Structure 1
Amino acid sequence: MPPNSLQKEMSQVKPNIDLGENYADNLHVDVLIVGAGFSGVYLLHKLRGAGFKVKIFEAGTAFGGTWRWNCYPGARVDSDLPVYELSLPEVWKNWTWKERFPGWQELQDYFDYCDHKLDLHKDTAFNTVVTEAQFDKKTGLWNVKTADGRHCFAKYLLPCVGFAAKRYIPDWPGLETFEGEIHHSSFWPVDDVDVAGKRAAVIGTGSTGVQITQEWAKSAKELTVFQRTPNLCIHMAQRNVPMKEQNNKKVIYDELFKKRETGFGGFTFTFVEKKGDEFTEEEANAFMETLWTNGDFSFWVGTFADIYENMKTNKMAYDFWRKKVWERVKDPKTAELLAPEVPPHPWGCKRPSLEQDYYEQFNKPNVHLVSVKNNPIVRVEPKGVVTADGKLHEVDVIAVATGFDAVTGSMINMNLHDAQGHHLKDLWKDGARTYLGLSIHGFPNMFYTYGPQAPTAFSNGPTLIEIQSNWIVEVIQQMEKNNVKYIEAKEEAQNEWADHVRELADKTLFPLADSWYMGANVPGKKREMTCYLKGVPAYKQTIREKLEEGLKGYELVKN
């Protein structure tokens, strides 16, 4: 890609010219899966095993979903092993990781290994971008169109596009005029970007910005980090994990995979039963120190029972965190920007990142932190970035780490139409409405994973994905056994679920933060809680109950 060519959409991916069955026009299948990440891999394996004809359409070039796109410097997962992998014994039995929190290269290797062990390739079309899909109630089939003009007809459509497939790039004037190299973090060049001896900029300090900063600060001549809101990062206790240690632990893997479904966030830990005011000050500090030493998300979703309901408890956690940051940053002015005395929002109500040496980078003379909270970026010029005070920050390379139109944007971007032809974007203009975070009224025989109004953003990915996928497979099996033409969520049930999701959020501190959880990072987007906040165990119990009650809330139309 030319240095100044900023890729913005997946539709810029070149179509595949392979003429095999997976790429045939007018392809007919029982189930079409869109996306080849964890969800696509797991569902393809399970549905094929149940006897269905299944195909995957994947926009990328290989399995891995977000990990084929997120190959920017320092990209790694913030769930530790073995929680962040599929519970399939045929995969994990002979697979071993190198690090506690694997990086993108190792995650790509993992998905390649899944392909090898499960023979996924034979039923997958790569470089295939879905551009439109609509259900026909007369035929009982989905008509799915691709960017290169192909059609697929499927009884069931399963969008497995995740919560972060629609990039958000601010419409700064002059982006196209920049003379240096510029890339959004999830459209990163395969051959990487060399910043040695160059002036580099990272715009954004979410998880991606934090990870790029950690890497670029070590090699760039000058690094300027543009921060709107400080990231309240938790320290990552990264380490190499010997093969022998992993193999010895595999005797309890089945137990661990079951246990992760009992944790609020899909981890093997969860909130304690005691509230913040039930601890003495000494006990609370000792408890938080233990969580901090764990070096994982237990400080976020394994802490005080009322941390996201009680501002006093929440502030106690923030003050503890702030003290940790100030111990690591030498310059008080920089420390105040990174960890201000007045919290920018309630602790944990914007997604914290796990960092290894992020804060130490700002002690280096070549690293500069620019706050754009009250001095925003107003345009990009050939030589760099201009802020509202008129200053031109001259740079040679820009990493656009501005995140995504998260949770809802991925599905809207698929150009889905309901049976009457209405675009999902229009149906959701006043807020997302789903049933059980799995289906949408007006879209029969369509089930999605890891998307709106499920625990999604508050859950370890593979945990929730397997819970939802197992449910979907059971539903499809029931539909076929009972000669059902299509299944559709009832509008009343959908409205009740959507209201329930919002009511849960209103009882917490989360709406007080302008987060992507609330859709607040994208101008013009409806501000609402996009995810279910009662936790993974409660969610699993609820959807299982609906299944056992004869799919209550759904209309079933027989052939």
Structure 2
Amino acid sequence: MGSLPAPEAYDVVVIGGGFGGIYSLNHLRGLGFATHMFEAGTGLGGIWHWNCYPGARVDTETPVYQLYAPELYDTWRWKERYSGRDEMVDYFNHIADLWDLKKDITFSARVTKAHWNQAECRWDLTVSTSTTSGTKESIIHCKAVVFCTGFASKHYTPPFAGMDQFNGVMSHTALWSEDIELKDKRVAVIGTGASGVQVVQEVAPIAKQLTLFQRTPNMALPMGQSLRDDEWDKVSKTQYPEQVEKMKTTYAGFLYDFDPRKTFEVSEEERVALFEELFHKGGVYFWLGTFSDVLKNKKANDLAYDFWRQKTLARINDPVIAEKLAPKVAPHAFGTKRISLEQDYFEQFNRETVDIVDLNDDPVETFTSKGIKTKTGEHEFDVIVLATGFDSVTGGLTQIDIRGVDGTTVQDKWAKGVWTHLGMTTAGFPNMFFVYGPQAPTAFATGPQCAETQGKWIGETLSYMREHGYNSIQPTPEAEAAWKEHVNITAEEGLFKETKSWYFGDNIPGKARESLNYMAGLPQYRKKCAEAAEHGYKNQFILA
């Protein structure tokens, strides 16, 4: 646990220890700002600290999914193409040791309130710190605050009837305890997002019986997992500088981009050949390396879905189950919900001990003391796994009592829709920044690329203020309105808007439906951020 300097010593407080937090802490320290981090967990990693459920694994391959400082890569060796949760925790500890971060971090410390003090031109933070003797509250002052709470830090559980009646073990994947026993147990998994897919393929081989409760099938792609050997590590290190530059040019920060051709500009043979090539590369190549119109043109999208479906059907023995997992009529356009990666997910349903309940035909009526009762009958379980997702993108911020110049909370300001400028600032909340949040590339970019892009801009902004004698900065309402319009216009260009998903807040009852992510790509986002800083920020921000 890092020591606590006097409260007035802080120029900047960073909240959250994922990629965004550790990059910002190190970067701001390097710029000469007195910076401290508060992290609610007992260790670094953000979502990789909390997500210890069975099978938790990244969906972005190495060497892309990492911070890009050469000294970090030179002294680290990846073990797998797609790292598991434990390897990610080790990697974050590697960063912390190399950059000597922990001296400026307080762990088990949750920021519950952040109130702007107009008279003192500062933020007053209430920090609840857990210790062996109990919980202690402290008031911390800082000139600026950077929220790095991530897009998936507020879990969501649908209000199923009777949940308190269940006598077995029940846990959301985001709150998982590693001592939960699953071997030879009757297990229910509710939800088919990434965590649901990962839990099913990890637990099905050891469970006595597993039942997946599915509302929407997951169009998961083969991960193409492999080990990273010494030769790969040697070659990768020589190519790394070139790869980092390449990642800065692509839409989502990967080492590849969409094929510039359109689906119907090539022959059927060429189309099938590209589909085959991308599919067998594994990962999200088939999603984000495909023809440029697949996510924009419904007919082109239908061809991609049909290709995926035929590949998937060949792996499932029972035609009834196959229709549930890969239906003839797509439930939504391919790729317009977050694509998950799988290793042997579909094969698990060939086991006699694995079943699937389609919640569209057989909805949950209530939980019972023994399990879950649906329209057709009761299912008995020992363990219920809630893979039901998150109040994504905005939830990490709105769950904190953040109050601006007039006492209005962020939650109230965003109750009917999000208002930000550049997805990093919001009017009425001076010197407040957020990374990997709403109306930024966030879920449409790799986490490290987004963290570094935004972290650098925030550092440059605070440095400019210091050099020119400004005490506060916030966006103008006009700039905020223009950004909101720009974000929504870019979201209209594809098929995403026609699909109900957490990309648009559809999974949370009462949440305003709008694009929560900037969908025009990282290169365009960086251009917009640079434009905002031109002419001393004065066209889009209020400096005082």
Same fold per superposition (TM over 0.5): yes
**What is the rounded CA distance, in whole Å, between the counterparts of 1:492 and 1:378 in structure 2?**
48
Equivalent residue number for residue 502 of structure 1: 488
Question: What amino acid is the match of 1:308?
Answer: L
Displacement, 1:252?
2.0
Q: Which secondary structure state, in structure 2, belongs to the residue aligned with residue 130 of structure 1?
A: strand
**What is the rounded CA distance, in whole Å, between the counterparts of 2:418 and 2:411 in structure 1?**
9
Are residue 211 (structure 1) and residue 193 (structure 2) matched? no
Are residue 298 (structure 1) and residue 285 (structure 2) matched? yes
Q: Which secondary structure state, in structure 2, belongs to the residue aligned with residue 416 of structure 1?
A: strand
**What is the rounded CA distance, in whole Å, between the counterparts of 1:384 and 1:200 in structure 2?**
10
User: Conserved in 2, the CA contact under 8 Å of 1:271 and 1:301?
Assistant: yes
**What is the rounded CA distance, in whole Å, between the counterparts of 1:120 and 1:224 in structure 2?**
43
Displacement, 1:247?
2.5
Equivalent residue number for residue 153 of structure 1: 141
**What is the rounded CA distance, in whole Å, between the counterparts of 1:284 and 1:214 in structure 2?**
31
**What is the rounded CA distance, in whole Å, between the counterparts of 2:541 and 2:525 in structure 1?**
21
Are residue 542 (structure 1) and residue 524 (structure 2) matched? no
User: Conserved in 1, the CA contact under 8 Å of 2:7 and 2:142?
Assistant: no
Q: 1:444 to 1:289 in 2, by over 3 A?
A: same
Equivalent residue number for residue 383 of structure 2: 397
Find 1:331's aligned residue among 318, 332, 337. Answer: 318
Q: Which secondary structure state, in structure 1, belongs to the residue aligned with residue 248 of structure 2?
A: helix
Displacement, 1:27?
5.8
TM-score, structure 2 length as denominator? 0.97
Q: 1:552 to 1:288 in 2, by over 3 A?
A: farther
User: Conserved in 2, the CA contact under 8 Å of 1:27 and 1:151?
Assistant: no
Q: Which secondary structure state, in structure 1, belongs to the residue aligned with residue 137 of structure 2?
A: coil
**What is the rounded CA distance, in whole Å, between the counterparts of 2:51 and 2:37 in structure 1?**
20
**What is the rounded CA distance, in whole Å, between the counterparts of 1:164 and 1:250 in structure 2?**
31
Instruction: State the number of aligned residues.
Output: 537
Displacement, 1:257?
1.4
Are residue 225 (structure 1) and residue 212 (structure 2) matched? yes
Find 1:355's aligned residue among 342, 360, 364. Answer: 342
Are residue 458 (structure 1) and residue 444 (structure 2) matched? yes
TM-score, structure 1 length as denominator? 0.94
Q: Which secondary structure state, in structure 2, belongs to the residue aligned with residue 149 of structure 1?
A: strand
Equivalent residue number for residue 262 of structure 1: 249
Name which of structure 1's ranges 546-555 and 309-318 shifts more when overlaid on structure 2. Answer: 546-555
Displacement, 1:31?
0.4
Q: 1:374 to 1:498 in 2, by over 3 A?
A: farther
Displacement, 1:354?
0.5
Residues 439-470 of structure 1: CA distance to partner in whole angstroms, max 9, x if unpaired? Answer: 10111111111110111111111011111111
**What is the rounded CA distance, in whole Å, between the counterparts of 1:61 and 1:265 in structure 2?**
31
User: Conserved in 2, the CA contact under 8 Å of 1:487 and 1:554?
Assistant: no
Question: What amino acid is the match of 1:341?
Answer: K
Q: 1:145 to 1:392 in 2, by over 3 A?
A: same
**What is the rounded CA distance, in whole Å, between the counterparts of 2:7 and 2:232 in structure 1?**
50
Displacement, 1:21?
3.4
Moved over 3 A (4+): 24-28, 552-558
Aligned alpha-carbon RMSD (Å):
1.3
**What is the rounded CA distance, in whole Å, between the counterparts of 1:146 and 1:553 in structure 2?**
35
Equivalent residue number for residue 4 of structure 1: none
Are residue 422 (structure 1) and residue 403 (structure 2) matched? no
Question: What amino acid is the match of 2:388?
Answer: T
Displacement, 1:78?
0.5
**What is the rounded CA distance, in whole Å, between the counterparts of 2:106 and 2:402 in structure 1?**
20
Displacement, 1:515?
0.5
Equivalent residue number for residue 165 of structure 2: 177
**What is the rounded CA distance, in whole Å, between the counterparts of 1:467 and 1:231 in structure 2?**
31
Question: What amino acid is the match of 1:238?
Answer: Q
Find 1:202's aligned residue among 171, 189, 210. Answer: 189
Equivalent residue number for residue 123 of structure 1: 104
**What is the rounded CA distance, in whole Å, between the counterparts of 2:166 and 2:6 in structure 1?**
40
Question: What amino acid is the match of 1:426?
Answer: D
Equivalent residue number for residue 52 of structure 2: 71
Percent identical pairs in the alignment equals 43
Find 2:91's aligned residue among 104, 110, 121. Answer: 110
Could you tell me which runs of 5 or more consecutive residues in structure 1 were left unpaired when the two chains were aligned.
1-17
Find 1:239's aligned residue among 226, 237, 250. Answer: 226
Residues 291-310 of structure 1: CA distance to partner in whole angstroms, max 9, x if unpaired? Answer: 11110112111111111211
User: Conserved in 1, the CA contact under 8 Å of 2:54 and 2:199?
Assistant: yes
Residues 250-274 of structure 1: CA distance to partner in whole angstroms, max 9, x if unpaired? Answer: 1221221121121111101111111
**What is the rounded CA distance, in whole Å, between the counterparts of 2:44 and 2:52 in structure 1?**
14
Displacement, 1:26?
4.4
Residues 79-123 of structure 1: CA distance to partner in whole angstroms, max 9, x if unpaired? Answer: 000100001122111100110000000000001111111111100
Equivalent residue number for residue 36 of structure 1: 17
Question: What amino acid is the match of 1:21?
Answer: S
Could you tell me which runs of 5 or more consecutive residues in structure 2 were left unpaired when the two chains were aligned.
129-135
Equivalent residue number for residue 530 of structure 1: 516
Find 1:431's aligned residue among 407, 417, 432. Answer: 417
